[in-house]
Structure 1
Amino acid sequence: MVTRPTAKKVKSLDELLQADEMFSAPVQNIEKGIKTIVFDKIRPFNNHPFHLYKDERLEDLVESIRSNGILIPMIVRTVEDDPEGYLYEMLAGHNRLNGARVAGLLEGPCIVKDGLSDEEALMYVIETNVIQRSFTDMLTSEKAAVLAMSHTKMFAQGKRNDIIEELLNLENPEYMRQDETCAPVGHKLKTRDKVGIEYGLSKNTVARLLRVEKLLTSLKERVDLNEISLRCAVDLSYLIETEQEEVSKVLSENDFKVDMKKSEMLRSYSANSKLNEKTIYLILSGEINKKPKASTSPSIKIKQKVYAKFFSPETKASEIEKIVEEALELYFRTNHGREEDNTA
């Protein structure tokens, strides 16, 4: 593993630009160097999988920017023919841009990357957040995005290491790679087990988080809010997109909860092509599992004081029951006859 020395705090963009001796070769040779770019020309990364800072963490960032400016330049890539007129797409620095806007800034320092593939751009997004945040502090959907990226074949280890080196150099100008044969994050990742080792997870947890990545954004948000457990999320991930959309819609319109029994049933119905709007509602509402109420006659007990004045203490219970039955028959026969007379 590579050690990361403590960085000297750079107080301004001018100092950052003049401190060439502080940077290693990868940063000095960045294509097009550092530019000051108007924020309105930068769009967020498409389907950005990470949540922006808020509350105290955002307040601290805003205060730092107000006092010192943006110390670490953001990384963007050029875009062409954007229908909304954007010229760049953010790769690393969504929080810095957001904090700078809150602080009242309209522009900031950016490193412009040209010719990146979508996969390479995503590597910048993922690795920036892994470096800047603790993996254990990430939301479930964020962990899923990181693992999904790390688990794909296109996550070329050599390219990944180059990107990590660049990002570490930006965060810490005194950072120097100490072992050319060792990747900053460990050995090459080829299996689910190795991905788990890198992030301190069991292979079963890795497998479940990889399934979370297949959920719609609206359902991922419910997972992050602990409204849907990780195991339930795995079941829901096997639903096709239209089924997930309907599940999300029903949950949004009703105060239903998702438990293991419901999620397993949704998955089973989907696998058997029986899942539709009606069955989704019935499953999530719990109606489909409700047993019909038994149509039994009510049990009635007659208090002793009611019948004691009509029977002596020596009268057997069977005799009392027989007389009560005859009295009821007479009562209903008589009253039924009166109702017919009134109707006529």
Structure 2
Amino acid sequence: MSERKLMSLDDMFGDISSEKETNSGIAEIEIEKLVPFSNHPFKLYEGERLNDMVESIKEFGVIVPIVIRPIGTSYQILSGHNRVNAAKLAGILKVPAVIKEGLTEDEATLIVTETNLIQRSFADLRYSERTAAISQRYKAMKQQGKRNDLLDEIEKLANPYNIKDEATLCQVETKLRTDEKLAQSYNLSRNMIARYVRLGELDSDLMNRLDADEIAFMTAVTISFIKKEEQQIINEILNSNNFKLDMKKAEVLRDYSEKGKLNEETAYSILSGELNKKTKSNKPTAIKLKPKLISKYFAPEVKQPEIEDIIDKALKLYFETQGKEVLDE
């Protein structure tokens, strides 16, 4: 079966600048019929920002329509999770919505990520939110080739008054390769874009640890190269023990994984630090005599075996006069 292409701009949104489409495409939907997007990667507003939105909705209502798609007898929110949450708190029963049907999962996810980024500063997002946004945009741009019309239309839909924060997404050139376009959009290096795309392979529980600053960014990137089932083993060990996962341990874990040697036992040994712990040797520390000391008692022509024999006899005599036992070899 051939892979389904992303829908065109007209199929997906129509001409939203058209008065006819605006009038016919917006409906009043009861809030109780709305459900959040599955695994919504963005954290809802809290504190002052949420309070301000609630007060604004109490005074003016929901001005910008949310974007939804039909799911059974309900509607799934694609854009507007914060508006819906604030409307509930404000006691609003219905919100204006643009209903979109026939979307692929990729198209639906792209709307979720892009509309959120247009409203927020990238620097304010959690690592999981940044990863979701960049990974989805990267995937969409790879599928679309040189087309940017879908992304442009999402921006218009989410920001109809063309009010744009300097920290949000910028328009990209079509002649650049995909990672270069993303680097321009987010003001990140190509290497950093690649790392965020890679973090899309990180286990969700370990991603939560990254968001909570329990794991460093580059440590998480290294762990993302490990098989998902092995990542889950790592997380379970971290849950049960007070171990720290740092870059050094992450590199060893990845190495064991690539060699097919990573299991619960080896993972525990690595995370606990026992694997590379040096065992104490019973051998005495080697001593090297300074040439000045040797020349003080021995002529240059005296060979090393003879010197060692004399030193041995001298030490035996010393220990005997001190009443100390001489250890056997």
Q: What TM-score do you get using the length of structure 2 for normalisation?
A: 0.74
**Distance between the aligned counterparts of 2:227 and 2:190, measured in 1?**
25
Q: What is the match of residue 103 of structure 2?
A: 116
Change (3 A) 1:163 1:319: closer
Q: 1:253 to 1:38 in 2, by over 3 A?
A: farther
Match of 1:131 among 118, 138, 141: 118
- Greater RCO structure (CA 8 Å; 6+ sep): 1
Report the more deviating stretch, 267-276 or 210-219: 210-219
How far residue 64 of structure 1 moved from its aligned partner, in angstroms, is 2.5
Query: CA 1:275–1:110 in structure 2 vs 1: closer, same or farther (change >3 Å)?
Result: same
What does 1:215-254 align with in structure 2 at a 5 Å threshold? 215-254=202-241
Q: Distance in 1 between matches of 2:183 and 2:170?
A: 16
Q: After superposition, give the CA deviation of every residue in 1:193-213 in whole Å (9 maximum; x if it has no partner).
A: 221122111111111111111
Q: CA deviation at 1:120?
A: 1.7
Equivalent residue number for residue 173 of structure 2: 187
Q: What CA RMSD, in Å, does the superposition of the two structures yield over aligned residues?
A: 2.9
1:33 and 2:25 aligned: yes
State the SS of the aligned residue for 1:274: coil
Partner of 2:242: 255
- Residue 200 (str. 1) matches residue 191 (str. 2): no
- For the Cα contact (< 8 Å) 2:172–2:181, is it kept in 1? no
SS of 1:29's partner is helix
Post-superposition offset of 1:104: 3.5
- Correspondence for 2:298: none
Q: 1:277 offset after TM fit, Å?
A: 0.9
Deviations 1:182-225 (A, max 9, x none): x9713226321221122111111111111111112211122222
Give 1:264's aligned residue.
251
Paired with 1:261 and 1:34, the residues of 2 have a C-alpha distance of: 54
* Corresponding residue for residue 61 of structure 2: 69
Q: In structure 1, what is the Cα distance between the partners aligned to 2:32 and 2:322? A: 89
152, 166, 179: which is aligned to 1:161? Answer: 152
**Which residue, 43, 55, 73 being the options, matches 1:51?**
43
Alpha-carbon distance between aligned partners in 2 of 1:102 and 1:218, rounded to the nearest angstrom: 30
Structure with higher Rg: it is 1
Letter in 1 for 2:127: T
> 3-state DSSP class of the match of 1:287?
coil
Q: Could you report, residue by residue, the CA deviation over 1:229-262 in whole angstroms, capped at 9, with x for unpaired residues?
A: 2211111111111111111222222222111110
For the Cα contact (< 8 Å) 2:115–2:154, is it kept in 1? no
Structure 2 Cα separation of the partners of residues 139 and 149 of structure 1: 16
How is 1:139-178 mapped onto 2 (pairs within 5 angstroms)?
139-152=126-139, 153-155=142-144, 156-169=147-160, 172=161
Q: Is the contact between residue 31 and residue 113 of structure 1 (CA under 8 Å) also seen in structure 2?
A: no
Extract unaligned runs of 5+ from structure 2: 1-15, 164-168, 285-314
The Cα offsets for residues 128-187 of structure 1, whole Å up to 9 and x where unpaired, read as 112101122222222222221222222552222222222222xx2x77xxxxxxx97132
Report the alpha carbon displacement of residue 267 of structure 1 after superposing the two structures with TM: 0.6
How far apart, CA to CA, are the structure 2 residues paired with 1:164 and 1:229?
32
Identity %: 39
Letter aligned with residue 322 of structure 1:
E
Structure 2 distance, partners of 1:32, 1:217, is: 40
What residue is the counterpart of 1:277 in the other structure? 264
Pick aligned residue for 1:322 from 320, 323, 326: 320
User: Does 1:88 pair with 2:75?
Assistant: yes
- Counterpart of 1:60 in structure 2 is 52
Distance change in 2, residues 1:115/1:319 (3 Å): closer
Aligned to 1:19: none
1:67–1:260: structure 2 CA closer, same or farther, 3 Å change rule? Answer: same
Q: TM-score, normalised by structure 1?
A: 0.71
Q: Residue 296 of structure 1: CA displacement? A: 6.8
Return the letter of the residue paired with 1:57: R
Q: 2:17 aligns with which of 17, 21, 24?
A: 24
270-279 or 128-137: bigger deviation: 128-137
Letter in 2 for 1:65: I
> Over residues 64-122 of structure 1, what are the superposed CA-to-partner deviations in whole Å (9 max), with x where a residue is unaligned?
23333322221101113xxxxx5111100111122222334343222211122222212
Amino acid at match of 1:24: S
Shift of the 54–256 alpha-carbon distance from structure 1 to 2, 3 Å rule, reads farther
Q: Is the 8 A contact 1:208 1:230 kept in 2?
A: no
CA contact (8 A) 1:75 1:90 kept: yes
Report how many residues are paired.
273
Q: 1:127 to 1:61 in 2, by over 3 A?
A: same
Cα 1:260–1:322 shift into 2, 3 Å? same
* Distance in 2 between residues matched to 1:282 and 1:190, nearest whole Å: 43
* 8 Å Cα contact 2:53/2:83 also seen in 1: yes
